[in-house]
Amino acid sequence: MHQGCAGSFENGQQVVDKLRMMGFNEQYMPAAFDIKCENCGEEFLMETFESKCPKCKMTYGVTPCHAFDKKHIKAAGINY
């Protein structure tokens, strides 16, 4: 069920699953963020709500409601 912006997630896999279920995973975020991969340390530009590190393929996700602050970006796992 859709909980709007009040929904909370325990981990990155839940975030990415929600994005895919709602069809937002390939949509562009309002503003892109430079992030540093927590797995390999590669810095890359995250432009869509679901993105992968180009070096190690760690998947990251952030919901549209929280895409204004990169502290809400969560790792879901390699090739998740």
Domain boundaries, the chain: 9-78
* pLDDT value for 4: 60
Average pLDDT, the chain: 93
Structure tokens belonging to residue 79: 């090739």
What are 35-44's pLDDT values in tens digits? Answer: 999 999 999 9
Query: pTM here?
Result: 0.92
Low-confidence ranges of the chain (pLDDT < 50): 1-2
Q: Is the CB of residue 16 less than 8 Å from the CB of residue 61?
A: yes
Our CA angle for 24, 9, 57, nearest 5°, is 60
Q: Compute the distance between CA of residue 10 and CA of residue 13 in angstroms, rounded to an integer.
A: 8
Identify the three-state secondary structure at position 74. Answer: strand
